Copies of this chain bind each other. A is one copy, B any other.
Amino acid sequence: MNDRDLVEAALFVAGRPLTLGELESIVGPDADIEELVASLVADYQQRGAIEVVQTGDDVVMQVKASYADAVRAIAQRDLETPVLRTLAVIAYHQPITQSKVAEIRGNKAYGHVHELEARKLIVTAPHGRTRMLRTTKAFVEYFGFETENLEEIKERIELLLR
């Protein structure tokens, strides 16, 4: 076993971004995690359909964008289309009340909001008798937006709409 391969194995099994701290807890405190990650990033960049990407403290292994559409169908879809659609409504109109979302998406939206909150893609806060919803940092990361600013996210969605 070598440290670089251990990082590779960890990223492979995690299926989600790992922080440098998490990687250190696996590899041990003596390793230079940043260097190991940089080496993996460079290596994967040169070959194949998989990439290792570091964003700030987070490192993730995923399919390169150019192959993503081709294999999306085989990936275990972790958000069903109706839930994703509700998320799109929230992202576009945020901050938006839960009752407004239900008005647009129907009563099933309550279940969707529940699921999206559990997945940490949105946060909800009490707002009168309903709740106010907005997207999270995990949302930004999940969809690969470059910004956490709500206005900029909305602008970006608007741009994609044209």
CB distance from A152 to the nearest CB of B (A): 29
* In the assembled complex, A126 has its CB within 8 A of some CB on chain B: no
Contact assessment for B12 and A50 in the assembled complex, using a CB-CB cutoff below 8 Å: yes
* Most chain B Cβ neighbours within 10 Å, of A18, A26, A74, A75: A74
Contact assessment for A18 and B74 in the assembled complex, using a CB-CB cutoff below 8 Å: yes
Contact assessment for A14 and B67 in the assembled complex, using a CB-CB cutoff below 8 Å: no
Contact assessment for B67 and A26 in the assembled complex, using a CB-CB cutoff below 8 Å: no
Q: A residues within 8 Å of B by Cβ? A: 1, 4-6, 8-10, 12-16, 18, 22, 26, 48-50, 63-64, 66-68, 70-76
User: What 5 A-B pairs have minimum CB-CB distances, sorted nearest first?
Assistant: A9-B49, A5-B49, A13-B75, A9-B67, A9-B71
A-B contact pairs, 16 of them (CB 8 A): A1-B67, A1-B70, A6-B49, A8-B48, A9-B50, A9-B67, A9-B70, A12-B71, A13-B71, A13-B74, A13-B75, A14-B71, A14-B74, A14-B75, A18-B74, A26-B70
